[in-house]
Structure 1
Amino acid sequence: MATIDSLPPLRDVIATHDLKARKSLGQNFLLDLNLTAKIARQAGDLTDVDVLEIGPGPGGLTRGLLSEGARKVLAIEKDARCLPALDEIAAAYPGRLQIIEGDALDIDPLEHLRAPIRVAANLPYNVGTELLVRWLTPPDWPPFWQSLTLMFQREVAERIVAVPGSKAYGRLALLAQWRADANIVLSLTPEAFTPPPKVSSAVVHLTALPAPRFEADALVLNRVVAAAFNQRRKMLRSALKGFAPDIEDRLHAAGIKPTERAEQVSLEGFCALARAVAAG
Protein backbone atom coordinates (compact mmCIF):
# COMPACT_ATOMS: atom_id res chain seq x y z
CA MET A 1 0.00 0.00 0.00
CA ALA A 2 1.31 3.42 -0.94
CA THR A 3 2.29 5.80 1.82
CA ILE A 4 2.29 9.60 2.03
CA ASP A 5 5.14 10.08 4.51
CA SER A 6 8.05 8.24 6.12
CA LEU A 7 5.85 6.48 8.69
CA PRO A 8 4.76 2.83 8.40
CA PRO A 9 1.55 1.81 6.59
CA LEU A 10 -1.52 2.03 8.80
CA ARG A 11 -2.10 -1.71 8.74
CA ASP A 12 1.35 -2.15 10.33
CA VAL A 13 0.63 0.60 12.88
CA ILE A 14 -2.60 -1.11 13.92
CA ALA A 15 -0.85 -4.47 14.23
CA THR A 16 2.09 -3.01 16.19
CA HIS A 17 -0.17 -1.30 18.73
CA ASP A 18 -2.92 -3.97 18.70
CA LEU A 19 -5.58 -1.41 17.79
CA LYS A 20 -8.72 -3.38 17.15
CA ALA A 21 -11.60 -0.99 16.45
CA ARG A 22 -14.13 -0.84 19.27
CA LYS A 23 -17.82 -0.75 18.43
CA SER A 24 -18.54 0.95 21.77
CA LEU A 25 -16.50 3.95 20.60
CA GLY A 26 -18.06 4.02 17.13
CA GLN A 27 -14.67 3.21 15.58
CA ASN A 28 -14.08 2.22 11.97
CA PHE A 29 -10.53 2.81 10.76
CA LEU A 30 -9.54 4.00 7.28
CA LEU A 31 -6.33 2.25 6.25
CA ASP A 32 -5.70 3.69 2.76
CA LEU A 33 -3.43 6.71 3.23
CA ASN A 34 -4.06 7.88 -0.32
CA LEU A 35 -7.75 8.02 0.59
CA THR A 36 -7.15 9.88 3.86
CA ALA A 37 -5.02 12.43 1.96
CA LYS A 38 -7.86 12.79 -0.55
CA ILE A 39 -10.28 13.52 2.30
CA ALA A 40 -7.83 16.06 3.71
CA ARG A 41 -7.73 17.83 0.34
CA GLN A 42 -11.49 18.34 0.51
CA ALA A 43 -10.78 20.81 3.33
CA GLY A 44 -8.97 23.08 0.85
CA ASP A 45 -5.55 24.69 1.11
CA LEU A 46 -4.42 24.04 4.69
CA THR A 47 -1.32 26.21 4.57
CA ASP A 48 -1.42 28.62 7.53
CA VAL A 49 -4.54 26.88 8.90
CA ASP A 50 -5.08 25.13 12.23
CA VAL A 51 -7.21 21.98 11.95
CA LEU A 52 -9.35 20.39 14.66
CA GLU A 53 -9.68 16.62 14.29
CA ILE A 54 -12.01 14.53 16.46
CA GLY A 55 -11.40 10.81 16.92
CA PRO A 56 -8.17 10.37 14.94
CA GLY A 57 -7.78 6.72 15.95
CA PRO A 58 -4.46 5.41 14.59
CA GLY A 59 -3.97 8.67 12.69
CA GLY A 60 -4.80 8.02 9.05
CA LEU A 61 -6.57 11.32 8.46
CA THR A 62 -4.13 13.05 10.82
CA ARG A 63 -1.28 12.07 8.54
CA GLY A 64 -3.28 13.20 5.52
CA LEU A 65 -3.90 16.63 7.04
CA LEU A 66 -0.25 17.08 8.01
CA SER A 67 1.08 15.86 4.67
CA GLU A 68 -1.28 18.31 2.94
CA GLY A 69 0.38 21.17 4.82
CA ALA A 70 -1.80 21.93 7.85
CA ARG A 71 -0.02 24.47 10.09
CA LYS A 72 -1.19 22.54 13.15
CA VAL A 73 -3.54 19.67 13.88
CA LEU A 74 -5.25 19.40 17.26
CA ALA A 75 -6.31 15.76 17.62
CA ILE A 76 -8.78 14.89 20.38
CA GLU A 77 -8.85 11.15 21.08
CA LYS A 78 -10.90 9.34 23.72
CA ASP A 79 -9.23 5.94 23.26
CA ALA A 80 -5.96 5.86 25.19
CA ARG A 81 -4.81 2.81 23.16
CA CYS A 82 -4.34 5.12 20.13
CA LEU A 83 -2.07 7.63 21.87
CA PRO A 84 1.26 5.85 21.24
CA ALA A 85 0.53 5.68 17.50
CA LEU A 86 -0.39 9.37 17.49
CA ASP A 87 2.79 10.21 19.44
CA GLU A 88 4.80 8.61 16.62
CA ILE A 89 3.09 10.94 14.12
CA ALA A 90 3.81 13.94 16.36
CA ALA A 91 7.51 12.99 16.38
CA ALA A 92 7.54 12.78 12.58
CA TYR A 93 5.92 16.23 12.26
CA PRO A 94 7.67 18.24 15.00
CA GLY A 95 5.59 21.04 16.52
CA ARG A 96 2.60 20.48 14.24
CA LEU A 97 0.49 17.87 16.06
CA GLN A 98 -1.03 18.35 19.51
CA ILE A 99 -2.84 15.38 21.01
CA ILE A 100 -5.42 15.68 23.79
CA GLU A 101 -6.84 12.58 25.44
CA GLY A 102 -10.49 13.03 26.31
CA ASP A 103 -14.08 13.35 25.15
CA ALA A 104 -14.57 15.96 22.42
CA LEU A 105 -17.95 16.83 23.93
CA ASP A 106 -16.20 18.04 27.10
CA ILE A 107 -13.15 19.86 25.67
CA ASP A 108 -12.89 23.47 24.50
CA PRO A 109 -10.55 23.29 21.50
CA LEU A 110 -10.24 27.07 21.19
CA GLU A 111 -7.76 27.14 24.06
CA HIS A 112 -5.33 25.31 21.77
CA LEU A 113 -6.01 26.75 18.30
CA ARG A 114 -5.54 30.05 16.50
CA ALA A 115 -7.46 31.35 13.51
CA PRO A 116 -8.07 30.52 10.79
CA ILE A 117 -9.48 27.18 11.96
CA ARG A 118 -11.07 24.35 10.04
CA VAL A 119 -12.52 21.08 11.29
CA ALA A 120 -11.79 17.78 9.53
CA ALA A 121 -12.72 14.42 11.00
CA ASN A 122 -13.84 10.87 10.41
CA LEU A 123 -16.31 11.35 13.23
CA PRO A 124 -17.13 8.46 15.56
CA TYR A 125 -20.62 7.37 14.56
CA ASN A 126 -22.00 7.68 18.08
CA VAL A 127 -21.25 11.41 18.54
CA GLY A 128 -21.07 12.75 14.98
CA THR A 129 -24.50 14.34 14.73
CA GLU A 130 -24.31 15.88 18.21
CA LEU A 131 -20.97 17.52 17.41
CA LEU A 132 -22.27 18.84 14.08
CA VAL A 133 -25.32 20.42 15.75
CA ARG A 134 -23.05 22.09 18.34
CA TRP A 135 -20.84 23.53 15.61
CA LEU A 136 -23.88 24.83 13.70
CA THR A 137 -25.58 26.43 16.72
CA PRO A 138 -23.01 28.56 18.58
CA PRO A 139 -24.29 31.62 20.48
CA ASP A 140 -22.56 33.94 18.00
CA TRP A 141 -22.11 33.78 14.25
CA PRO A 142 -19.78 33.57 12.32
CA PRO A 143 -18.41 30.55 14.24
CA PHE A 144 -14.82 29.74 15.17
CA TRP A 145 -14.50 27.49 12.10
CA GLN A 146 -14.19 28.41 8.43
CA SER A 147 -15.30 25.00 7.21
CA LEU A 148 -16.21 21.50 8.36
CA THR A 149 -15.06 18.46 6.38
CA LEU A 150 -16.72 15.52 8.07
CA MET A 151 -17.37 11.86 7.41
CA PHE A 152 -20.76 10.46 8.35
CA GLN A 153 -22.91 7.47 7.63
CA ARG A 154 -24.35 8.08 4.17
CA GLU A 155 -27.86 8.43 5.62
CA VAL A 156 -26.75 11.28 7.91
CA ALA A 157 -24.86 13.00 5.06
CA GLU A 158 -28.01 12.91 2.93
CA ARG A 159 -30.01 14.48 5.75
CA ILE A 160 -27.55 17.39 5.89
CA VAL A 161 -27.89 18.26 2.18
CA ALA A 162 -31.56 17.29 1.75
CA VAL A 163 -34.05 19.50 -0.10
CA PRO A 164 -37.75 20.15 0.67
CA GLY A 165 -40.06 17.34 -0.36
CA SER A 166 -37.52 14.58 0.23
CA LYS A 167 -37.73 11.97 2.98
CA ALA A 168 -34.32 13.03 4.33
CA TYR A 169 -35.36 16.68 4.69
CA GLY A 170 -35.63 17.80 8.29
CA ARG A 171 -34.09 19.72 11.16
CA LEU A 172 -30.49 18.79 10.29
CA ALA A 173 -30.82 20.11 6.72
CA LEU A 174 -32.31 23.37 7.94
CA LEU A 175 -29.68 23.91 10.64
CA ALA A 176 -26.87 23.25 8.18
CA GLN A 177 -28.22 25.18 5.21
CA TRP A 178 -29.33 28.24 7.19
CA ARG A 179 -25.76 29.18 8.05
CA ALA A 180 -23.55 27.19 5.67
CA ASP A 181 -23.12 25.84 2.17
CA ALA A 182 -23.24 22.04 2.44
CA ASN A 183 -22.21 19.48 -0.18
CA ILE A 184 -21.40 15.78 -0.29
CA VAL A 185 -17.88 15.70 -1.75
CA LEU A 186 -16.89 12.03 -1.44
CA SER A 187 -18.61 8.67 -1.08
CA LEU A 188 -17.03 5.61 0.53
CA THR A 189 -18.05 1.96 0.50
CA PRO A 190 -17.94 -0.15 3.67
CA GLU A 191 -14.89 -1.97 2.29
CA ALA A 192 -12.80 1.20 2.72
CA PHE A 193 -12.89 0.67 6.50
CA THR A 194 -11.58 -1.84 9.03
CA PRO A 195 -13.82 -3.34 10.24
CA PRO A 196 -16.31 -2.65 7.41
CA PRO A 197 -19.45 -0.97 8.79
CA LYS A 198 -22.86 -2.18 7.68
CA VAL A 199 -23.58 1.08 5.86
CA SER A 200 -21.91 3.30 3.27
CA SER A 201 -20.28 6.57 4.32
CA ALA A 202 -19.89 10.01 2.80
CA VAL A 203 -17.80 13.12 3.39
CA VAL A 204 -19.71 16.38 3.73
CA HIS A 205 -18.02 19.75 3.31
CA LEU A 206 -19.71 22.74 4.96
CA THR A 207 -18.49 26.30 4.46
CA ALA A 208 -19.64 28.86 7.02
CA LEU A 209 -21.57 31.79 5.57
CA PRO A 210 -20.65 35.24 6.91
CA ALA A 211 -24.27 35.65 8.04
CA PRO A 212 -27.33 33.38 8.09
CA ARG A 213 -28.99 32.94 4.70
CA PHE A 214 -32.29 34.48 5.92
CA GLU A 215 -33.08 36.63 8.93
CA ALA A 216 -34.49 34.77 11.94
CA ASP A 217 -33.92 34.43 15.66
CA ALA A 218 -31.92 31.22 16.12
CA LEU A 219 -33.78 30.02 19.22
CA VAL A 220 -37.22 30.68 17.74
CA LEU A 221 -36.28 29.05 14.44
CA ASN A 222 -34.97 25.97 16.23
CA ARG A 223 -38.14 25.67 18.31
CA VAL A 224 -40.42 26.05 15.29
CA VAL A 225 -38.46 23.56 13.18
CA ALA A 226 -38.25 21.02 16.02
CA ALA A 227 -42.01 21.22 16.67
CA ALA A 228 -42.85 20.98 12.98
CA PHE A 229 -40.71 17.90 12.33
CA ASN A 230 -41.53 16.17 15.62
CA GLN A 231 -44.97 15.68 14.09
CA ARG A 232 -44.00 15.73 10.44
CA ARG A 233 -47.08 13.81 9.31
CA LYS A 234 -49.41 16.46 10.72
CA MET A 235 -50.47 19.63 8.98
CA LEU A 236 -48.55 22.63 10.33
CA ARG A 237 -51.66 24.21 11.84
CA SER A 238 -51.89 21.14 14.11
CA ALA A 239 -48.20 20.54 14.68
CA LEU A 240 -47.62 24.18 15.71
CA LYS A 241 -50.85 24.94 17.54
CA GLY A 242 -48.97 25.18 20.83
CA PHE A 243 -47.04 28.25 19.63
CA ALA A 244 -49.95 30.66 19.41
CA PRO A 245 -53.76 30.55 19.27
CA ASP A 246 -53.59 32.41 15.95
CA ILE A 247 -50.93 30.15 14.38
CA GLU A 248 -52.92 29.92 11.14
CA ASP A 249 -52.71 33.71 10.74
CA ARG A 250 -48.96 33.58 11.34
CA LEU A 251 -48.53 30.80 8.83
CA HIS A 252 -50.41 32.88 6.27
CA ALA A 253 -48.23 35.90 7.15
CA ALA A 254 -45.16 33.78 6.39
CA GLY A 255 -46.62 32.71 3.04
CA ILE A 256 -47.23 29.14 4.20
CA LYS A 257 -50.49 27.25 3.79
CA PRO A 258 -51.68 25.96 7.20
CA THR A 259 -52.46 22.61 5.56
CA GLU A 260 -48.86 22.04 4.47
CA ARG A 261 -46.58 19.62 6.26
CA ALA A 262 -43.08 20.39 7.52
CA GLU A 263 -41.25 18.64 4.68
CA GLN A 264 -42.99 20.89 2.13
CA VAL A 265 -41.67 24.14 3.62
CA SER A 266 -38.40 25.68 2.43
CA LEU A 267 -35.71 27.14 4.65
CA GLU A 268 -36.83 30.63 3.62
CA GLY A 269 -40.38 29.73 4.62
CA PHE A 270 -39.33 28.49 8.06
CA CYS A 271 -37.31 31.66 8.63
CA ALA A 272 -40.33 33.78 7.67
CA LEU A 273 -42.44 31.74 10.07
CA ALA A 274 -39.89 32.20 12.87
CA ARG A 275 -40.08 35.96 12.34
CA ALA A 276 -43.89 35.85 12.38
CA VAL A 277 -43.90 33.84 15.61
CA ALA A 278 -41.33 36.15 17.23
CA ALA A 279 -43.35 39.20 16.28
CA GLY A 280 -46.33 38.06 18.26
Structure 2
Amino acid sequence: MNKNSVVAKKKFGQNFLKDEIVLRKIVEAMPKNDNKIVEIGPGLGDLTKYLVDVKSVEAFEVDTDLCKLLQSTFKKEIDTKRLHINCGDVLNAWQSSLIDEPYDLVANLPYYIATNIILKALADPMCKNILVMVQLEVAEKFCAQEGQKVFGSLSVITQSVAEAHIVVQVPPTAFEPPPKINSAVFLIQKTKDRSNEDFEGMLRVAFKQPRKTLMKNLSVVYEKEKIQEALNELEYTLTIRPHQISTHDYHQLYKKIK
Protein backbone atom coordinates (compact mmCIF):
# COMPACT_ATOMS: atom_id res chain seq x y z
CA MET A 1 0.00 0.00 0.00
CA ASN A 2 1.26 3.47 -0.81
CA LYS A 3 0.06 6.92 0.21
CA ASN A 4 -1.59 7.68 -3.13
CA SER A 5 -3.76 4.56 -3.08
CA VAL A 6 -5.34 5.33 0.31
CA VAL A 7 -9.07 6.12 0.26
CA ALA A 8 -10.44 8.06 3.25
CA LYS A 9 -12.79 5.99 5.41
CA LYS A 10 -16.00 7.71 6.49
CA LYS A 11 -16.40 5.58 9.63
CA PHE A 12 -13.15 7.06 11.00
CA GLY A 13 -14.04 10.61 9.93
CA GLN A 14 -10.93 10.81 7.75
CA ASN A 15 -10.10 14.05 5.95
CA PHE A 16 -6.37 14.26 5.26
CA LEU A 17 -4.84 17.71 5.74
CA LYS A 18 -2.69 18.45 2.68
CA ASP A 19 -2.11 22.21 2.78
CA GLU A 20 1.61 22.75 3.52
CA ILE A 21 1.03 26.34 4.71
CA VAL A 22 -1.49 25.19 7.33
CA LEU A 23 0.77 22.30 8.39
CA ARG A 24 3.64 24.73 8.94
CA LYS A 25 1.37 27.14 10.87
CA ILE A 26 0.46 24.31 13.26
CA VAL A 27 4.14 23.59 13.94
CA GLU A 28 4.93 27.30 14.36
CA ALA A 29 2.09 27.67 16.91
CA MET A 30 3.42 24.87 19.13
CA PRO A 31 4.43 26.11 22.61
CA LYS A 32 8.22 26.11 23.13
CA ASN A 33 8.98 23.53 25.81
CA ASP A 34 10.49 20.07 26.41
CA ASN A 35 7.18 18.19 26.43
CA LYS A 36 6.67 15.13 24.26
CA ILE A 37 4.10 15.37 21.46
CA VAL A 38 1.01 13.16 21.33
CA GLU A 39 -0.63 13.01 17.90
CA ILE A 40 -4.09 11.44 17.61
CA GLY A 41 -5.16 10.32 14.14
CA PRO A 42 -1.88 10.86 12.20
CA GLY A 43 -3.56 9.50 9.05
CA LEU A 44 -1.08 9.56 6.17
CA GLY A 45 1.60 11.24 8.29
CA ASP A 46 1.40 14.67 6.62
CA LEU A 47 1.63 16.46 9.99
CA THR A 48 3.73 13.72 11.60
CA LYS A 49 6.64 14.35 9.22
CA TYR A 50 6.88 17.93 10.55
CA LEU A 51 6.39 16.94 14.19
CA VAL A 52 9.19 14.33 14.26
CA ASP A 53 11.57 17.01 13.00
CA VAL A 54 10.88 19.02 16.14
CA LYS A 55 10.38 16.47 18.94
CA SER A 56 9.68 12.82 19.69
CA VAL A 57 6.09 11.80 18.97
CA GLU A 58 3.68 9.28 20.49
CA ALA A 59 1.03 8.64 17.82
CA PHE A 60 -2.35 6.88 18.12
CA GLU A 61 -4.03 5.58 14.95
CA VAL A 62 -7.25 3.53 14.93
CA ASP A 63 -7.08 2.49 11.24
CA THR A 64 -4.96 -0.68 10.92
CA ASP A 65 -4.27 -0.05 7.21
CA LEU A 66 -2.88 3.40 8.01
CA CYS A 67 -0.85 1.93 10.90
CA LYS A 68 0.97 -0.33 8.43
CA LEU A 69 1.53 2.57 6.05
CA LEU A 70 2.90 4.80 8.85
CA GLN A 71 5.19 2.01 10.10
CA SER A 72 6.67 1.68 6.64
CA THR A 73 6.85 5.45 5.89
CA PHE A 74 8.50 6.30 9.21
CA LYS A 75 10.67 3.19 9.67
CA LYS A 76 13.80 5.28 10.33
CA GLU A 77 12.05 7.50 12.92
CA ILE A 78 10.57 4.43 14.64
CA ASP A 79 13.99 2.72 14.74
CA THR A 80 15.61 5.82 16.27
CA LYS A 81 12.72 6.10 18.80
CA ARG A 82 11.74 9.50 17.40
CA LEU A 83 8.26 8.07 16.76
CA HIS A 84 6.16 5.41 18.44
CA ILE A 85 2.87 4.35 16.85
CA ASN A 86 0.04 2.86 18.92
CA CYS A 87 -2.48 1.01 16.74
CA GLY A 88 -5.98 1.04 18.21
CA ASP A 89 -8.65 3.31 19.65
CA VAL A 90 -7.06 6.07 21.73
CA LEU A 91 -10.15 6.28 23.96
CA ASN A 92 -9.57 2.66 25.04
CA ALA A 93 -5.93 3.44 25.85
CA TRP A 94 -6.83 6.59 27.82
CA GLN A 95 -7.33 5.86 31.49
CA SER A 96 -6.59 8.86 33.74
CA SER A 97 -3.52 9.84 31.71
CA LEU A 98 -2.56 8.82 28.18
CA ILE A 99 1.22 8.62 28.68
CA ASP A 100 3.27 8.87 31.86
CA GLU A 101 5.18 12.05 31.07
CA PRO A 102 4.23 15.68 30.30
CA TYR A 103 2.97 16.07 26.75
CA ASP A 104 1.34 18.49 24.32
CA LEU A 105 -1.51 17.19 22.15
CA VAL A 106 -0.91 18.31 18.55
CA ALA A 107 -3.28 16.83 15.98
CA ASN A 108 -5.73 17.13 13.13
CA LEU A 109 -8.47 15.39 15.11
CA PRO A 110 -11.19 13.13 13.66
CA TYR A 111 -14.17 15.50 13.95
CA TYR A 112 -16.66 12.93 15.24
CA ILE A 113 -14.70 12.46 18.50
CA ALA A 114 -12.86 15.80 18.69
CA THR A 115 -14.86 17.32 21.58
CA ASN A 116 -14.56 14.14 23.64
CA ILE A 117 -10.79 14.00 23.07
CA ILE A 118 -10.26 17.68 24.00
CA LEU A 119 -12.27 17.27 27.22
CA LYS A 120 -10.21 14.18 28.12
CA ALA A 121 -7.00 16.10 27.43
CA LEU A 122 -8.19 18.96 29.64
CA ALA A 123 -8.69 16.44 32.46
CA ASP A 124 -5.39 14.60 31.88
CA PRO A 125 -2.77 15.87 34.39
CA MET A 126 0.06 15.00 31.98
CA CYS A 127 -1.39 17.07 29.10
CA LYS A 128 -0.07 20.64 29.27
CA ASN A 129 -1.14 22.18 25.94
CA ILE A 130 -3.68 21.29 23.24
CA LEU A 131 -3.11 22.44 19.65
CA VAL A 132 -5.71 20.83 17.40
CA MET A 133 -7.65 21.17 14.17
CA VAL A 134 -11.43 20.76 14.56
CA GLN A 135 -14.64 22.03 12.96
CA LEU A 136 -14.69 25.84 13.10
CA GLU A 137 -17.90 25.91 15.16
CA VAL A 138 -16.36 23.57 17.75
CA ALA A 139 -13.21 25.71 17.98
CA GLU A 140 -15.40 28.80 18.46
CA LYS A 141 -17.25 27.14 21.35
CA PHE A 142 -14.01 26.28 23.18
CA CYS A 143 -12.58 29.79 22.59
CA ALA A 144 -15.73 31.92 23.07
CA GLN A 145 -15.85 34.84 25.50
CA GLU A 146 -18.70 35.79 27.82
CA GLY A 147 -21.44 37.67 25.95
CA GLN A 148 -20.86 35.91 22.62
CA LYS A 149 -23.81 33.81 21.40
CA VAL A 150 -21.65 30.64 21.20
CA PHE A 151 -20.36 31.05 24.78
CA GLY A 152 -21.44 27.85 26.54
CA SER A 153 -20.40 25.06 28.89
CA LEU A 154 -17.31 24.18 26.78
CA SER A 155 -16.16 27.82 26.97
CA VAL A 156 -16.57 27.90 30.76
CA ILE A 157 -14.85 24.53 31.27
CA THR A 158 -11.91 25.71 29.15
CA GLN A 159 -11.61 29.15 30.76
CA SER A 160 -11.71 27.53 34.21
CA VAL A 161 -8.41 25.77 33.57
CA ALA A 162 -6.74 27.42 30.57
CA GLU A 163 -6.38 30.19 28.02
CA ALA A 164 -7.59 29.47 24.48
CA HIS A 165 -7.51 31.18 21.11
CA ILE A 166 -7.99 30.34 17.42
CA VAL A 167 -4.67 30.17 15.54
CA VAL A 168 -5.96 29.94 11.96
CA GLN A 169 -9.20 29.21 10.09
CA VAL A 170 -8.92 26.53 7.42
CA PRO A 171 -11.09 26.14 4.28
CA PRO A 172 -12.34 22.73 3.01
CA THR A 173 -9.88 22.92 0.09
CA ALA A 174 -6.97 22.28 2.50
CA PHE A 175 -8.12 18.65 2.87
CA GLU A 176 -8.41 15.51 0.79
CA PRO A 177 -11.30 14.72 0.52
CA PRO A 178 -12.62 18.24 1.32
CA PRO A 179 -15.14 18.24 4.21
CA LYS A 180 -18.43 20.12 3.86
CA ILE A 181 -17.53 22.54 6.66
CA ASN A 182 -14.86 25.08 7.59
CA SER A 183 -12.22 24.10 10.12
CA ALA A 184 -9.90 25.87 12.53
CA VAL A 185 -6.70 25.22 14.45
CA PHE A 186 -6.87 26.44 18.04
CA LEU A 187 -4.54 26.41 21.03
CA ILE A 188 -5.42 25.73 24.67
CA GLN A 189 -2.65 26.47 27.19
CA LYS A 190 -3.53 24.85 30.50
CA THR A 191 -2.88 26.37 33.89
CA LYS A 192 -4.55 23.54 35.85
CA ASP A 193 -6.60 20.37 35.28
CA ARG A 194 -10.33 20.00 34.72
CA SER A 195 -11.76 18.05 37.64
CA ASN A 196 -15.04 19.25 39.14
CA GLU A 197 -17.78 17.04 37.69
CA ASP A 198 -20.51 18.59 39.88
CA PHE A 199 -19.67 22.05 38.54
CA GLU A 200 -19.84 20.74 34.98
CA GLY A 201 -23.18 19.12 35.79
CA MET A 202 -24.48 22.55 36.78
CA LEU A 203 -23.16 24.02 33.51
CA ARG A 204 -25.01 21.39 31.47
CA VAL A 205 -28.23 22.43 33.21
CA ALA A 206 -27.46 26.15 32.83
CA PHE A 207 -26.86 25.92 29.06
CA LYS A 208 -29.40 23.22 28.24
CA GLN A 209 -31.73 25.73 26.56
CA PRO A 210 -29.51 28.73 25.74
CA ARG A 211 -32.42 30.95 24.61
CA LYS A 212 -34.20 30.66 27.94
CA THR A 213 -33.13 32.64 30.99
CA LEU A 214 -30.48 31.17 33.28
CA MET A 215 -33.03 31.30 36.09
CA LYS A 216 -35.50 29.14 34.14
CA ASN A 217 -32.86 26.58 33.17
CA LEU A 218 -31.34 26.21 36.65
CA SER A 219 -34.68 26.06 38.47
CA VAL A 220 -35.39 22.69 36.80
CA VAL A 221 -32.78 21.19 39.15
CA TYR A 222 -31.92 23.76 41.84
CA GLU A 223 -34.01 25.64 44.43
CA LYS A 224 -35.53 28.79 42.95
CA GLU A 225 -34.92 30.88 46.07
CA LYS A 226 -31.22 29.96 46.18
CA ILE A 227 -30.78 30.87 42.50
CA GLN A 228 -32.58 34.23 42.98
CA GLU A 229 -30.49 35.01 46.03
CA ALA A 230 -27.24 34.07 44.25
CA LEU A 231 -28.05 36.14 41.13
CA ASN A 232 -28.97 39.13 43.30
CA GLU A 233 -25.70 38.85 45.23
CA LEU A 234 -23.77 38.70 41.95
CA GLU A 235 -25.75 41.74 40.74
CA TYR A 236 -27.40 40.02 37.78
CA THR A 237 -31.03 40.49 36.76
CA LEU A 238 -33.31 37.45 36.85
CA THR A 239 -33.74 37.70 33.07
CA ILE A 240 -30.02 37.15 32.35
CA ARG A 241 -29.24 34.55 29.65
CA PRO A 242 -26.67 31.76 30.18
CA HIS A 243 -24.09 33.24 27.75
CA GLN A 244 -24.07 36.61 29.55
CA ILE A 245 -22.42 35.39 32.77
CA SER A 246 -18.64 35.21 33.18
CA THR A 247 -16.69 32.04 33.99
CA HIS A 248 -15.66 33.53 37.36
CA ASP A 249 -19.29 34.20 38.24
CA TYR A 250 -20.37 30.69 37.23
CA HIS A 251 -17.97 29.40 39.88
CA GLN A 252 -19.44 31.83 42.44
CA LEU A 253 -22.95 30.79 41.44
CA TYR A 254 -22.04 27.11 41.86
CA LYS A 255 -20.74 27.71 45.40
CA LYS A 256 -23.95 29.48 46.35
CA ILE A 257 -26.53 27.04 44.92
CA LYS A 258 -24.92 23.59 45.11
TM-score (norm: length of structure 2): 0.90
Aligned to 2:245: 265
Aligned to 1:233: 211
Pairing partner for 2:222 from 228, 231, 243 = 243
1:250 and 1:111 mapped to 2: Cα distance?
36
1:34 and 1:110 mapped to 2: Cα distance?
35
Aligned to 2:102: 116
Q: 1:110 to 1:240 in 2, by over 3 A?
A: closer
Q: 1:228 to 1:58 in 2, by over 3 A?
A: same
- Describe the superposition over 1:257-280 as per-residue Cα deviations: whole angstroms up to 9, x where unpaired: 2221101111111111011123xx
2:74 aligns to what SS in structure 1? helix
Q: 1:254 to 1:220 in 2, by over 3 A?
A: farther
- Checking the alignment, whether the CA contact within 8 Å between 2:100 and 2:126 is kept in structure 1 is no
Pairing partner for 1:103 from 89, 94, 107 = 89
Aligned to 1:207: 189
- Describe the superposition over 1:46-72 as per-residue Cα deviations: whole angstroms up to 9, x where unpaired: 6x43111111111111111112x21x2
> Larger relative CO (CA 8 A, sep 6+): 1 or 2?
2
2:14 and 2:98 mapped to 1: Cα distance?
25
Aligned to 2:165: 183
Q: Which amino acid is 1:273 matched to?
A: L
1:199 and 1:111 mapped to 2: Cα distance?
31
Residue 44, structure 1, aligned to residue 26, structure 2: no
Residue 220, structure 1, aligned to residue 209, structure 2: no
Q: Which runs of 5+ in 2 are unaligned?
A: none
1:65-144 to 2 correspondence within 5 Å? 65-67=51-53, 69-70=54-55, 72-93=56-77, 94-108=80-94, 113-138=99-124, 143-144=125-126
Deviation (angstroms), 1:166:
1.9
**Which shifted more, 100-109 or 116-125?**
100-109
2:208 and 2:98 mapped to 1: Cα distance?
38
- Checking the alignment, whether the CA contact within 8 Å between 1:28 and 1:195 is kept in structure 2 is yes
**Which shifted more, 188-197 or 18-27?**
18-27
Deviation (angstroms), 1:92:
2.6
Deviation (angstroms), 1:193:
0.4
- Describe the superposition over 1:73-128 as per-residue Cα deviations: whole angstroms up to 9, x where unpaired: 11110111101221134323221111111111111388874533111010001100
2:173 and 2:122 mapped to 1: Cα distance?
30
Q: 1:89 to 1:116 in 2, by over 3 A?
A: farther
**Which shifted more, 217-226 or 98-107?**
217-226
Pairing partner for 1:254 from 234, 240, 252 = 234
Deviation (angstroms), 1:224:
1.9
Q: 1:78 to 1:155 in 2, by over 3 A?
A: same
Q: Which amino acid is 2:243 matched to?
A: E
Residue 56, structure 1, aligned to residue 38, structure 2: no
Q: Percent identity?
A: 31
- Checking the alignment, whether the CA contact within 8 Å between 1:255 and 1:269 is kept in structure 2 is no
2:185 aligns to what SS in structure 1? strand
1:262 and 1:64 mapped to 2: Cα distance?
41
2:200 and 2:85 mapped to 1: Cα distance?
34
Q: 1:13 to 1:252 in 2, by over 3 A?
A: farther
CA RMSD of aligned residues (A): 2.2
2:23 and 2:71 mapped to 1: Cα distance?
18
Deviation (angstroms), 1:34:
5.1
